[in-house]
Structure 1
Amino acid sequence: METSAATPTRPPHQAATSPSPSPSSSLRLWRPAAQRNMRNQWSHLSAAKEQWLAAVADGRAHASALVNVHLSCRNMPAMDLGVLKDMPGIRDKANSKLALREEQYSGMLLSAYKEMFSDRQDNLNDSGDGGGAPVFKWFSVLEFESLAQELVQMFVSEQKLKRLLLLEFLSIALKEGVELQTSLNWGDELYDGESNKLQSIGLQSGDAYSPPENWCAERLGSQRPGNLPLHEVLQVYLTTWHANMNINRSRIGEIFELVEEEMKIKLS
């Protein structure tokens, strides 16, 4: 009678272990998730850029309308009304209408400013940096982040300049008539919840939102009650708003072109 072979057993002193994946195997597991995350993040950046530029264009239109109405109101006492000049109360009625339009355009300008802020999209599925390996073909996670930071810094700098101009535009309405002593300061909230919004998207740390670099408080007209800016100054403000002084459109195009070529997708 044959004796059956004993079932092989693992020696008790050896723990069961799975072989560690090789570096190349780990990268194969990491790369698809990293690529998906990178596409999502850059798609969000592209959409935020377009939203910001559209809001800036709307803001300039509203600011131009506000300035025109303000100048009409300021010039009303000396304005030649032609055959209407002897109509009782015509200037007061015209001023009342202009004041309402001034308030309307101020609100529309403030709404455009709010639209410049895109909700922050934190990376909740961070798959790591892959040890510096390329995510697609050439660029590592760190290199993608460096390009994104370059973009963000442009818009942060320009956002602060836009807010500075917004203080001036909104203040010209406050300096009419009984509101002569009212002024806006950099630290004031321009709308309820602005500070919370700035903190939520990472533009404000604590209670302070740092002003633009090389900003001189003494030059801010909104902090000098009763000092209405000249027509020429208001035109410079409008031109500066439109120019996007801190935005290098050529460089932005280069960055997105590089990213699209690397990812082999079209972001916009």
Structure 2
Amino acid sequence: MEMETSAATPTRPPRLPAASPSPSPSSLRLWRSAAHRNVRNQWSHLAAAKDQWLDAAADGRSHAAGLVNAHLARRNMSATDLGVLKDMPGIRDKASSKLARREEQYSGMLLSSYKKMVRALCHLVKASRSMRSFSKVSPNGSVAQFSERQDDLNDSGDGGGAPVFKWFSILEFEGLAQELVEMFVSDLKLKRLLVLELLSITFKEGVEHQASLDWGDELYDGESNELQSIGLQSGETCPLPENWCADISGSQRPGNPPSHEVLQVYLTAWLVNVNINKSRIDEIFELVEEEMKIKLS
């Protein structure tokens, strides 16, 4: 259901209870000035990271399609009609070798796109957790300073729940940011599952199971640390949509490569960004831009 907004009275998310006592009017003015700058900066970071994630996902889908096409062409090479080329010595072996190299190239590019998605998600999470402005203890105490780090345990950095600009408190900005993050986290889990499946098809047919990728494996050096920094483990995955599960599970017989139909399902799952609600993302940024009276992108 679309949420209507107007320039005069933007629709607001439910107000959450304040996490700290209200500061004095003079302290609040100083805090709000710092909070203005910080919240604008963090939402600019969120907008940039969101775009980086979507760009990397689009590139990943293109590389995944190239990988699937090269794999299917190589797999079907023995039955392919080569026409007048069929009598050339070693033509099928040469074509198969070239397609195998293409698979390796597309696999590398797909993994690179996935890595960019993880990095973009790390930036999203960091920005979503950096909305607050805490009072900073200065040596002489003559000038009020603020920081993203909490020095005073009694200072929650949220201005006592006061609006930062006109309507939204820090908690409400954080709630909107967390809603964004949850979408991208959920879709990254699904895409990681698909990356594992797509990279696994590049192994030669007939290899033993232990030579294949497993859910707990790192897909690139440092992946586990990056995922753990945002509260994920490398083995965490998200199930495919229910109406696709029968096709997917039917392909998972030991030693059997996924069928052409299943590979197309994988590509479709990647293309549609199953867990990303683009209209809601646009709505969130419109609300924030109206609240802050700036354009983020």
TM-based fold match above 0.5:
yes
Work out whether 1:156 is the aligned partner of 2:185: yes
Equivalent residues of 1:183, 1:224 under 8 A apart:
no
Asked whether the 8 Å contact 2:67–2:106 carries over to 1, the reply is yes
Q: 1:129 to 1:213 in 2, by over 3 A?
A: farther
Unaligned stretches of 5+ residues in structure 2: 1-22, 131-146, 150-155
Q: Which amino acid aligns with 1:235?
A: Q
Aligned CA distance change for structure 1 residues 103 and 239 (closer, same or farther; 3 Å): same
- The structure-2 alpha-carbon separation of the partners of 1:209 and 1:70, relative to structure 1 and needing over 3 Å to count, comes to closer
- Which structure 1 residue ranges, 5 or more long, are not aligned? 1-21
Encode CA deviations 1:241-266: one digit per residue, 9 max, x unaligned.
00001000000000000000001111
Go from structure 1 to structure 2 and tell me whether the alpha carbon gap of 1:171 and 1:128 turns closer, same or farther (over 3 Å shift).
same
Relative distance call for 1:163 and 1:222 in structure 2 (3 A) is farther
Checking the alignment, whether the CA contact within 8 Å between 2:63 and 2:109 is kept in structure 1 is: yes
Could you say what the CA RMSD is over the residues aligned between the two structures, in angstroms?
Answer: 2.4
- Tell which structure's C-alpha radius of gyration is larger: 1
Matched residue, 1:125: 148
Q: Which moved more, 1:220-229 or 1:149-158?
A: 220-229
Aligned equivalents of 1:98 and 1:172: distance in 2? Answer: 13
1:9 matched residue in structure 2:
none
Query: What CA deviation, in whole Å up to 9, does each residue of 1:188-242 have, x standing for no partner?
Result: 1111211012123x1326xx643225898xx568975421111111111101100
Deviation at 1:40, TM superposition (A): 1.0
Aligned to 2:294: 265
The count of residues paired between Structure 1 and Structure 2 equals 243
Which AA in structure 2 matches 1:106? Answer: S
How high is the TM-score relative to the length of structure 2? 0.76
Could you tell me how far 1:36 is from its partner in structure 2? 0.8
Give the Cα separation in 2 of the matches to 1:210 and 1:92.
Answer: 39
Distance 1:66 1:74, change over 3 A: same
Letter in 2 for 1:125: E
Mapped to 1, the partners of 2:290 and 2:70 lie a distance apart of: 47
Contact 2:201 2:257 in 1 (8 A): yes
Residue 218 of structure 2 is matched in structure 1 by 189
- Using the TM superposition, give the Cα deviation of residue 29 of structure 1 relative to its aligned residue in structure 2, in angstroms: 1.1
* Contact 2:31-2:159 within 8 A present in 1 as well: yes
Partner of 2:133: none
CA shift in 2, pair 1:195/1:48, >3 Å: same
Identity in percent? 70
Q: How does 1:164-183 map to 2 (within 5 A)?
A: 164-174=193-203, 176-177=204-205, 179=207, 181=209, 182-183=211-212
Determine if the alignment matches structure 1 residue 136 to structure 2 residue 137.
Answer: no
Tell me if the contact between 2:217 and 2:235 (Cα under 8 Å) persists in the aligned partners. Answer: no
The answer on whether the counterparts of 2:206 and 2:255 sit within 8 Å (CA) in structure 1 is no
Task: For 1:259, give the aligned amino acid.
Answer: V
Mapped to 2, the partners of 1:214 and 1:52 lie a distance apart of: 20
**Aligned partner of 2:37: which letter?**
R
Q: 1:32 to 1:209 in 2, by over 3 A?
A: farther
Q: TM-score, normalised by structure 1?
A: 0.84
Say yes or no: does 1:253 pair with 2:282: yes
